[in-house]
Chains A and B, each alone.
Chain A
Amino acid sequence: MSPAAVLATSKGVATHCPYCALQCGQWVDGKGSVDGREFPTNRGGLCQKGWTAGRLLTHPERLTSPLLRPSRSADLAPVGWDAALAHVSRQLAALRAEHGPDSVAVFGAGGLTNEKSYLLGKFARVALGTSQIDYNGRFCMSSAAAAGNRAFGVDRGLPFPVTDLDDAEVVVLAGANIAETMPPLMGHLGGARLVVVDPRRTPTVERAIAGGGMHLQPVPGTDLVLALGMLHAAVTDGWLDADYLADRTTGFDDAWRVAAQWWPERAERVCGVPASDMRTVVGWLGAASRRYVLTARGAEQHAHGVDTVTAWINLALALGLPGRPGSGFGTITGQGNGQGGREHGQKSDQLPGYRSITDPAAREHVAGVWGVAPDALPGPGRSATELLAALGRPGGPKALLVFGSNVLVSAPDGNSVADRLAALDLLVVADVFPSETAMAADVVLPVAQWAEEEGTMTNLEGRVLRRRRALRPPAGVRTDLEVIAGLAAELGAAGFPADPRAVFDELRAASAGGPADYSGISYDRLDAGEALHWPCPAPLPGAPVHPGTPRLFTERFAHADGRARVVAVEHTEAAELPDDEHPLRATTGRVLVHYQSGAQTRRVAELAGIAPESFVEVHPDTATRAGLADGEWARVVSRRGTATARVRCVPSLRPDTVFLPFHFGGEQAANLLTNPALDPISRMPEFKVCAVRLEPMA
């Protein structure tokens, strides 16, 4: 146990950055000034987003009063809280009475605290009685989560602490650009030879090459073939860990029968990565004793994302990495609470503690904590993309409550999303800023942000962290928990506390015995400075407290037989292929100074000054052929929509590929282009590849 943590100093209150899942330690003072705080993930450092996060607290665009649109054609106008909540609950009650509980839907977020995620899920199932709840983590972690559950029996992004990476000799980053998305994480990889799988030569790739590593540059949508080719090379080049496969896994023979058909030279023909590079990288992994394979959204955001992640897991298992000290497989969680957010019941198929909503025992346990009959709990609802697509359609929801998400910018096929939101009877958005989605709402509820509230977050390594209040929210602003509690009260539902500690204590009970067991974690233990990774069950009477589980799988995997599953997966083409009309493959991603839909970072002048507008990276030849030159504005056209972006000629890019950042809204939204084709298991949309053409602006 570590000594009692210092919770406040002259620098302010000890809390964590509002943005990504690295959850860098921050000091925030009463005026909203931010300083880096020593913490294992960031060691006192921050990226530019984190350093400037304090500007959000005192921003002139903060929403400080509920807004209400009296009719769909009217403008939003300020209104009191009582009137806003009464209006919302009245309409929800009326819709439920007329059309049944599934006529109202809830959309959550991976940025919400554990307490909010939990209470939102309970609110949907108990206060509204609807099955229709999902969240934007579906766009983020769902493929990796499903693959992890399938292979290992449990899904914790990194099943080891981030600091284990410090000693790595070789790290394969499959679809990760952490030098831009999570800069302080690069500080843990300084000693490793990096192999970066990315269609673009990103800053992470540059670092890999500078350090003697390698760039594997596949055609977008062919990552799975690359992993199959590497598994083939692992076998033929003699790197297979046969003892490990025999002792700790099942299923390798079936997986090999698929990989046998993908000798590196054949895989190369599909993915474009030189066969010799596959062999080289497998040789590095095979010869090192401390090695990791990590995936991120580049591998996961596909209509076959689960299988793609599985292919990387299979490679890791073939080499004997998972569960071995100093080695492993992991996925790099994206959103601030992307881990905790996928555990506590805002996902359509889940109940708290990472329980399945279709498991009778899980339903009984959670219903018991909630004081309702198990039969009263709804079953699984629609996944995020399907939920959005059903809005305002026959049989679909007629009202949507959105917490912490900007779906007009972040969901695929933005034009369709706009149509669906417009078809609703009621759209309610709780947000900090007037985001694109908030401005489309009938009711906008202004809520507190990170340094104005208490709660917990679970970072990318499954460690539960305390978020602490450094300053009071502006007058007129309520916390999300207060909003949920207020709506529940209006709806006549009991059991919705607004106090985060009370919510967390209930979450602990609800998670007890589940895969993500938080029952042994308390605010007191966290405030005392303990580093607690789940599972951390409550001790039996008289037993010592559980120390948490920094490393999973050291003895066994979470399947009943203790073995990992090597699941045979085969390559499938991207859901949409280029043709004469749309000859290029578009992929999307991030830039360093923006986060997600940009609702926050586009409002920070220092960040907006660096990246003020969308751009499209394109090979100079491809630009020339489209009649475009560097710096000109282009129209990027897919079968679903058109986005405008400034041309950035990049000679290192594949000529068949263009890249757009997804942080911008309006006509510059990259998701106007993206394909809502879904993974059959995770229901992840295919953000990472769709067919487009480039046109000059008329």
Chain B
Amino acid sequence: MVGARFVEEVRRRDPHGARVRLTVLGAEPRPAYNRVLLSTVLAGGLSARAVELHPAGWAARQRVDLRLGVTATAINRSRRAVHTGSDGIEPYDELVLATGSRAWLPPMDGLDDASVATFRDIADCERIIGLAHPGARFVVLGGGLLGCEAARGLAGRGVRVTLVHPKQHLMERQLDAGAGEVLAATLRRLGVDVRLGVEAQAWEPGYGLRCGDSGVDELVAADALVVAAGVRAETDLAAAAGIAVDRGVLVDDRLATSDARVHAIGDCAQHAGTAAGLVQPGWEQAAVLADLLTGADPVARYGGTPSVTRLKARGVDLATVGDPAALDRPGAEVLRFADPVGGRYATLALQGDRVVSGAMIGLPDAAASMIQFYDTGSPAPADRLGLLLGRALPGAPETADPTRLPASAVVCRCNTVTKGALVAAWRGGATDVAALSRATRAGTGCGSCGDAVQGICTWLAESDPPVLSPVRQEGAA
């Protein structure tokens, strides 16, 4: 989908193809779709068709030579050409790798079975849905972002789900231990059986997932397995062509690889300022590369994308920013709030008033503002408790009790009528609501202060025998 975004960005800058001719090779047999929404498809919120990025005929209208089901097999850099599976050769002036990543399969037996699915593309998604009839027992292997989303989505389909994770807490790449515990508790409340610190040994079709560690052996009974144990960047093409790769294809701020004619964006790319596996960096990279390759902005540079994670799982409001390791760095100001019973947790690390890392569960307001402070780098509010809870703490609550209301309190906002003015009018002889309204205009705008005026009227009648001479407003009450 980052490749598709790149094509859109190029055509936005070069709508008629005057500067750039585009050929797109796609291994999948279908046009591009939005991978981020697959967990929503799995959860039942969207149909597979609803996540398609473009309508039929879009590529032709955009003057894009789109080849679906065509797998690139090699890059010949000296001839500047890409070889495809069907003995085809596609020459290029500039080559953009947007090959994404593939699901990583742990080394264990039994995975080559119809009851096992990874969770990476739409075909995976359709297979999982096909297996997920109500009452079915699923194991989701891997408690990272994708595994948690898959487990939650399956539970929402009436499937019995066990989430097996080898580490001691969920989403350890993004969460500190406390947050991981609250997330596990939240998922358990939603019907997911969460097993932590459990090593999977083998998938036994018809039985379940064999787990074990140092002699302890356990079978998690299940009908189907979803492997969400992590992803690996698709770097094979680049590596085989002698392009520098590490975890991903190494790119600089111009998204160029070690070969200046070859570029990489999205999950397959490795840039110093960016965490892998999120879509936002890929989209930003697509825009920068389109600026460069169309000449729209020759000095465009990609400087990294702040790392923000948001779990898409109904009933689980989880957001993280930055690296949880920042919580332990010297000089970090760390704020924490934990409410495991209420399913709420907040942790924030600040460096000199700037939010550098944090996680929020069950605190949607705080999550939204944490992300904004992190993204913009603007200084966090001095009210740290408000920051942690997501809103400024209320001051003293406004009282509706006429006795305690100060004389200067505005009772009728539409006409700026204070309690003092009402008391003065009362003392001037306006001793019922209608008369008070005539005398002061209170209640003659939107009418919402009617109850308050009635309350003051009642209070005055009970406490203050009317004095039938005008009293100066200032001295009232």
Q: Footprint of B on A, CB under 8 Å?
A: 36, 43-48, 51, 179-180, 183-187, 190, 203, 207, 219, 235-238, 253-254, 256-257, 260-261, 263, 265-266, 268-269, 272-277, 583, 592-593, 610, 619-621, 624-625, 651-652, 655-656
- B167 interfacial contact with A, CB 8 Å: no
Task: Please tell me if the beta carbons of B447 and A268 are within 8 angstroms of each other in the complex.
Answer: no
Q: What is the distance, in angstroms, from A333's C-beta to the closest C-beta of chain B?
A: 18
Chain A residues with CB under 8 A of B376: 656
Tell me the number of A-to-B contacts counted with CB atoms below 8 Å.
133
Q: Mark B21-51 against chain A: 1 for CB-CB distance below 8 A, else 0.
A: 0000000000000101100100001100011
Q: What is the distance, in angstroms, from B450's C-beta to the closest C-beta of chain A?
A: 10
Bound state CA distance, A48 and B40, in angstroms?
Answer: 51
- B297 interfacial contact with A, CB 8 Å: no
Chain A residues with CB under 8 A of B446: 45, 47, 179, 183-187
B79-87, B365-373, B423-431, B467-475 - the one binding chain A: B365-373
Q: What is the distance, in angstroms, from A366's C-beta to the closest C-beta of chain B?
A: 38
- B441 interfacial contact with A, CB 8 Å: yes
Q: What is the distance, in angstroms, from A673's C-beta to the closest C-beta of chain B?
A: 20
Chain A residues with CB under 8 A of B280: 266, 269
Q: Mark B256-275 against chain A: 1 for CB-CB distance below 8 A, else 0.
A: 00000000000000000000
Chain A residues with CB under 8 A of B36: 263
Task: Please tell me if the beta carbons of B416 and A592 are within 8 angstroms of each other in the complex.
Answer: yes
* Residues B395-425 near A (CB distance < 8 A): 395, 413-416
Q: From known contacts A45-B444, A268-B310, A655-B378, infer whether A51 and B415 are also in contact, taking CB-CB under 8 Å.
A: yes
Nearest A residue (CB) for B445? A183
Chain A residues with CB under 8 A of B381: 619, 621, 655
Chain A residues with CB under 8 A of B37: 260, 263
Q: What is the distance, in angstroms, from B387's C-beta to the closest C-beta of chain A?
A: 10
Q: Which residue, A44, A203, A276, has most C-beta atoms of chain B within 10 A?
A: A276
Chain A residues with CB under 8 A of B340: none
- B240 interfacial contact with A, CB 8 Å: no
Nearest A residue (CB) for B413? A203
Chain B residues with CB under 8 A of A277: 364
Q: What is the distance, in angstroms, from B286's C-beta to the closest C-beta of chain A?
A: 12
- B108 interfacial contact with A, CB 8 Å: no
Task: Please tell me if the beta carbons of B445 and A184 are within 8 angstroms of each other in the complex.
Answer: yes
Complex partner residue of A238 from B45, B375, B390, B395, CB under 8 angstroms: B45
Complex partner residue of B371 from A254, A260, A269, CB under 8 angstroms: A269
Q: What is the distance, in angstroms, from A16's C-beta to the closest C-beta of chain B?
A: 16
Nearest A residue (CB) for B49? A253
- B392 interfacial contact with A, CB 8 Å: yes
Task: Please tell me if the beta carbons of A183 and B55 are within 8 angstroms of each other in the complex.
Answer: no
- B168 interfacial contact with A, CB 8 Å: no
Q: From known contacts A203-B413, A276-B317, A651-B392, infer whether A190 and B447 are also in contact, taking CB-CB under 8 Å.
A: yes
Task: Please tell me if the beta carbons of A256 and B50 are within 8 angstroms of each other in the complex.
Answer: yes
Q: From known contacts A51-B441, A236-B45, A656-B378, infer whether A275 and B310 are also in contact, taking CB-CB under 8 Å.
A: yes
Chain B residues with CB under 8 A of A610: 416
Nearest B residue (CB) for A236? B45
Q: What is the distance, in angstroms, from A276's C-beta to the closest C-beta of chain B?
A: 4
Q: From known contacts A51-B444, A263-B37, infer whether A179 and B416 are also in contact, taking CB-CB under 8 Å.
A: no
Task: Please tell me if the beta carbons of A260 and B372 are within 8 angstroms of each other in the complex.
Answer: no
- B53 interfacial contact with A, CB 8 Å: yes
Q: From known contacts A269-B375, A621-B379, infer whether A46 and B368 are also in contact, taking CB-CB under 8 Å.
A: no
The contact sample of 7 A-B pairs, CB cut-off 8 A, is A183-B414, A184-B414, A203-B413, A235-B45, A236-B46, A257-B54, A272-B372
Chain A residues with CB under 8 A of B443: 45
Q: Which residue, A36, A238, A263, A273, has most C-beta atoms of chain B within 10 A?
A: A263
Task: Please tell me if the beta carbons of B54 and A48 are within 8 angstroms of each other in the complex.
Answer: no
Q: What is the distance, in angstroms, from A175's C-beta to the closest C-beta of chain B?
A: 19
Task: Please tell me if the beta carbons of B368 and A44 are within 8 angstroms of each other in the complex.
Answer: no
Q: From known contacts A235-B50, A592-B414, A651-B392, infer whether A276 and B364 are also in contact, taking CB-CB under 8 Å.
A: yes
Bound state CA distance, A235 and B55, in angstroms?
Answer: 18
- B122 interfacial contact with A, CB 8 Å: no
Chain A residues with CB under 8 A of B416: 48, 592-593, 610
Bound state CA distance, A532 and B391, in angstroms?
Answer: 47
Bound state CA distance, A185 and B308, in angstroms?
Answer: 42
Chain A residues with CB under 8 A of B395: 651
- B216 interfacial contact with A, CB 8 Å: no
Complex partner residue of A46 from B45, B310, B317, B444, CB under 8 angstroms: B444
Nearest B residue (CB) for A51? B441
Q: Mark B428-451 against chain A: 1 for CB-CB distance below 8 A, else 0.
A: 000000000000010111111000
- B341 interfacial contact with A, CB 8 Å: no
Q: Mark B353-377 against chain A: 1 for CB-CB distance below 8 A, else 0.
A: 0000000000011011101100110
Task: Please tell me if the beta carbons of A273 and B368 are within 8 angstroms of each other in the complex.
Answer: yes
Chain B residues with CB under 8 A of A186: 445-448
Nearest B residue (CB) for A188? B446
Task: Please tell me if the beta carbons of B53 and A257 are within 8 angstroms of each other in the complex.
Answer: yes
- B18 interfacial contact with A, CB 8 Å: no
Chain A residues with CB under 8 A of B53: 257, 260
Task: Please tell me if the beta carbons of B441 and A583 are within 8 angstroms of each other in the complex.
Answer: no
Chain A residues with CB under 8 A of B414: 45, 47-48, 179, 183-184, 592
Q: From known contacts A235-B46, A260-B34, A625-B379, infer whether A187 and B369 are also in contact, taking CB-CB under 8 Å.
A: no
Chain A residues with CB under 8 A of B51: 260
Q: From known contacts A47-B445, A263-B312, infer whether A179 and B413 are also in contact, taking CB-CB under 8 Å.
A: yes
Chain B residues with CB under 8 A of A48: 414-416, 441, 445
Chain A residues with CB under 8 A of B447: 43, 45, 184, 186-187, 190
Task: Please tell me if the beta carbons of A275 and B368 are within 8 angstroms of each other in the complex.
Answer: yes
- B299 interfacial contact with A, CB 8 Å: no
Task: Please tell me if the beta carbons of A260 and B444 are within 8 angstroms of each other in the complex.
Answer: no
Nearest B residue (CB) for A237? B45
The 10 A-B pairs of least Cβ separation, nearest first, read: A186-B446, A236-B45, A265-B310, A183-B445, A274-B364, A183-B414, A276-B364, A651-B392, A274-B368, A183-B446
Chain A residues with CB under 8 A of B382: 620-621, 624
Q: From known contacts A47-B415, A275-B364, A656-B376, infer whether A36 and B392 are also in contact, taking CB-CB under 8 Å.
A: no
* Residues B446-467 near A (CB distance < 8 A): 446-448
Bound state CA distance, A586 and B286, in angstroms?
Answer: 31
Q: A184-B447, A268-B368 are in contact. List 4 more A-B contacts (CB 8 A).
A: A48-B416, A184-B445, A268-B367, A269-B375
Task: Please tell me if the beta carbons of A257 and B445 are within 8 angstroms of each other in the complex.
Answer: no
* Residues B43-74 near A (CB distance < 8 A): 45-46, 50-55
* Residues B305-347 near A (CB distance < 8 A): 308, 310, 312, 317, 319
Chain A residues with CB under 8 A of B55: 253-254, 257
Bound state CA distance, A260 and B376, in angstroms?
Answer: 25
Chain A residues with CB under 8 A of B383: 621, 651
Q: What is the distance, in angstroms, from A212's C-beta to the closest C-beta of chain B?
A: 14
Chain B residues with CB under 8 A of A219: 372
Chain B residues with CB under 8 A of A190: 447-448
Task: Please tell me if the beta carbons of B368 and A272 are within 8 angstroms of each other in the complex.
Answer: yes
Q: What is the distance, in angstroms, from B8's C-beta to the closest C-beta of chain A?
A: 10
Chain B residues with CB under 8 A of A183: 413-414, 445-446
Bound state CA distance, A397 and B381, in angstroms?
Answer: 50
Chain A residues with CB under 8 A of B372: 219, 269, 272, 656
Bound state CA distance, A624 and B416, in angstroms?
Answer: 30
Q: What is the distance, in angstroms, from A567's C-beta to the closest C-beta of chain B?
A: 15
Bound state CA distance, A619 and B373, in angstroms?
Answer: 15
